[in-house]
Amino acid sequence: MTRPILNVTGLAKRFGGLVATDNVSIDVRPGEIHALIGPNGAGKTTLISQLLGELPHDAGSIELEGREIGNLSTARRVHLGLARTFQVTCLLPDYTVLDNVAIAIQLRQGHSFRFWGNVRKDNALRKKARGFLRDAGLDDRAEVVTANLSHGEQKQLELAVALATEPRVLLLDEPMAGLGHVESEQMIAMLRGCKERVSMILVEHDMDAVFALADRVSVLVYGRIIATGTVEEIRENAEVRTAYLGEGEDLC
C-alpha cells in the first residue's frame, strides 16, 4: 500500500461541552478521492477547517507528506500544498472571474510586497489564470464580475480557484450542493479529471456523486468516524445504514 499523502490521527476538538471532533483518524493516498459523509451537524465542515488550520484543534496530529503541519498557520499549510473549497461559496465578489483565479496564482508566486507594476497587465499571470478557467469551462465568463455569476458557476469557480493554488491535497466541502443535474455531472467529470494530480477529501451529501467518485468512504456521525471502507463495504455496513443511509434515502 502506498504511503498516505495526508494522514490525520486522533484529531479532537470540543466547543465547551460539545465534542465536535472525537478522535478522528483519516488518511488520503496519492491520487485518491476519500469521501467523507455523514448527517448534518456531524462535524464535517469543522473537520475541514481544522485540517486547514482555520480552527485550532485540541489534540491529535495532521501530517502532510510525512511532515507534521498541525501547529502551522493556515498560510503555511496552503504553501505546503493544502487547499479547500467552501460549502457556501467564498469568493471575491467585486472582482472578475479572471481576477479571482489570478490572485490565487499571485499568492502562490510568493510575497505581494510589490507596489509598482500593474497586476492586471502581468500577461504571464493572466495567461496562466485563463488556463485554469479553460479547464473549469469558465473561459467565456472570464471578464464577468463574480457577484453576477450563477450559483453553479460560482461553485465551478471555487474549484478553479482552489486548483490554481496547485495543491497536493484538496479539501472539498460539498462541491455539488445546490447544483442541478447537468451541473453536477460536469463537476463530477472535472473532479475525476484532476484526480491524478490532486488527492482529495470530498465532503458531500450527493450519494450519486460520492459513489461515482470515491475510492474510499468514511462515515462521520457526531464527530466520530464509525466506518471506513470502499464504496461497496460502506453500502453493506449495517451500522452506516441505520446511522445515515437509512434516514437519508430521500436525500439521494
Q: Which residues bind other proteins (CB under 8 A)?
A: 52, 54, 73-75, 77-79, 83-84, 86, 90-95, 99, 103-104, 106-108, 112-120, 161, 165
Going 28 to 7 to 24 to 41, the CA torsion angle's sign is negative
Q: Minimum distance between the CB of residue 144 and other proteins, rounded to whole angstroms? A: 13
Q: Which is nearer to other proteins, 94 or 250 (CB)?
A: 94
> CA-CA distance, 75 to 77, in Å (whole number)?
5
Q: Which is nearer to other proteins, 161 or 217 (CB)?
A: 161
Q: Which is nearer to other proteins, 120 or 197 (CB)?
A: 120
Q: What is the DSSP letter of 139?
A: G
| Residue 28, phi then psi, degrees to nearest 5 | -130, 130
Go through 49-59 and write b for each residue having 16 or more CB atoms within 10 A of its CB, e for each that does not.
bbbbbebebee
Cell numbers linked to 34:
476519500
Question: Beta 169-173 vs 82-84: how paired, if at all?
Answer: parallel
Q: Which is nearer to other proteins, 92 or 245 (CB)?
A: 92
Q: Looking at this protein, which amino acid is placed at residue 30?
A: P
Q: Minimum distance between the CB of residue 178 and other proteins, rounded to whole angstroms? A: 18
Q: Minimum distance between the CB of residue 248 and other proteins, rounded to whole angstroms? A: 29
231 and 214 Cβ atoms separated by less than 8 Å: yes
Question: Beta 59-64 vs 169-173: how paired, if at all?
Answer: unpaired
60 and 12 Cβ atoms separated by less than 8 Å: yes
Q: Which is nearer to other proteins, 146 or 237 (CB)?
A: 146
Q: Minimum distance between the CB of residue 230 and other proteins, rounded to whole angstroms? A: 30
Q: What length does the chain have?
A: 252
Q: Minimum distance between the CB of residue 197 and other proteins, rounded to whole angstroms? A: 18
Residue that the C-alpha cell 504511503 belongs to:
3
Q: Minimum distance between the CB of residue 20 and other proteins, rounded to whole angstroms? A: 19
Q: Which is nearer to other proteins, 91 or 245 (CB)?
A: 91
